[in-house]
Amino acid sequence: MNIDKIKEIQYPMLVVPFHGENVEVIIRELTQAQIIACGGDKFSLIETIDDKLRAKKKITMKDRMEYAAMQAKIAKKSLIKPTYDEIFDICKVDVDIEKIKHQMEYLDSQMALIPDCPKRQRLEEKFNSLRVWFDLILPEDFLAAITCYALGIDKSDIKEVTKEALINAAVLAKQGNDNPSDHLDGTFTAFMKDDINNRSWAYYYDMKKKNRKSR
């Protein structure tokens, strides 16, 4: 029995949407180290009221690029059968991938010759748009479902965490000289506990800073 067959037995089959249609995939949940390797440490799984308010602001191309790249890497690392490349081949049937690659290479070469100016910025915008498109060639609903499972979101309590809970956890951690995640009861992965710790301390020190200014 080869390693691929062992993986198929080891990991579960999941039904996920693909352009609105249900498809079956064999997938694995990623470890903390694997998520970080995919760039997941640049994003938070916690969504507070503040996050929702900020979400109304304009998302930059850099934000889109980093998030698209992260989703693509997570899909590549978590999909067992079919693999990311096999699905990519299906999605690119009606697309001239080589032409797009050549466009990106040309734009990249031109940017290397031009100093920072409006013309270079326009070239960067075109290049970045192609980069995002390339990373998001798989359907949005499919990538969202794969990311959700790979990060263990649905079986956790990470979406129940609030700003108030994070601040309270940080206050208790400060008193106990430990971590905020030690004071927040729930089902969380190691990656999520780091997320909780980072967000808790950020809110805590922001609160302390505001309190000093108000005196």
Confidence tier at 3 by pLDDT (50, 70, 90): low
Do 118 and 148 share a domain, yes or no? Answer: no
pLDDT number for residue 202: 93
Domains of the chain: total: 3
- The answer to whether 78 and 149 are in contact (CB under 8 A) is yes
With b meaning 16 or more CB within 10 Å and e meaning fewer, what string describes 38-72? bbbeeebbbebeeeeeeeeeeeeeeebbbbbbbbb
Do 61 and 141 share a domain, yes or no? Answer: yes
Do 109 and 197 share a domain, yes or no? Answer: no
Look up the pTM and report it.
0.80
> Cβ neighbours of residue 69 under 8 Å, at least 6 residues apart?
39, 131, 135
Helix then strand count (H, E) for the chain reads 10, 3
- The answer to whether 14 and 24 are in contact (CB under 8 A) is yes
- Percentage of residues of the chain with pLDDT beyond 90: 53
Do 73 and 177 share a domain, yes or no? Answer: no
Domain interval for residue 169: 161-215
Residue scoring higher pLDDT (69 or 134): 69
Q: Is the dihedral of CA 182, 188, 194, 198 positive or negative?
A: negative
